[in-house]
Amino acid sequence: MPSQPSKQLETFDNPHPERDFTIRIKVPEFTCLCPKTGQPDFATFHIEYVPDLRCVELKSLKLYMWSFRDEGAFHEAVTNQVLDDLVAATRPRFMRVRGEFNVRGGIYTDVIAEYHRPGWQARPLVRLP
């Protein structure tokens, strides 16, 4: 049976919850519909997060992102919705979602939304020579 779009995000146990590490995910085939014209909007989503106890399972993320294909959504709204849903599913220490939308009418749009768990501090970045 072929896969179907789904709003259900699955997670799995973080294999190293004692350590801060970053997971970066690139979703280059996101589509939704312009709520004003009904025309398709295309985007690449960049997701970066520092997990706590749960990580997002990638196939469920693919099906989740696919679920927006026939929905009308402004770029700002859909980027924040993706962040809210991922935060609700994983409860990360930190998460950043960037929606990099393709050109429409000569205008490119990037929307960046972030979540910081209260009290969590990022460690200083180590710069190597």
Render pLDDT for 64-99 as a digit per residue (tens, 0 to 9): 999 999 999 999 999 999 999 999 999 999 999 999
Is 99 inside a domain boundary? yes
CATH number for 27: 3.30.1130.10
Find the mean pLDDT for residues 40-68: 98
- Model confidence over 10-43: pLDDT tens digits? 999 999 999 999 999 999 999 999 999 999 999 9
Does residue 110 lie in a domain region? yes
Write out the DSSP string of the chain.
------S---EEE-S-TTS---EEEEEEEEEEE-TTT--EEEEEEEEEEE-SSEEE-HHHHHHHHHTTTT-B--HHHHHHHHHHHHHHHH--SEEEEEEEEEEETTEEEEEEEEEE-TT--PPPPP---
Catalytic, 32? Answer no
Q: Which of 41, 55, 70, 110 is catalytic?
A: 41
Among residues 13, 32, 34, 110, the one annotated as catalytic is 34
Count the domains in the chain.
Answer: 1
In a domain? residue 90? yes
Give residue 85's domain range: 11-116
Domain membership of residue 53 (yes or no) is yes
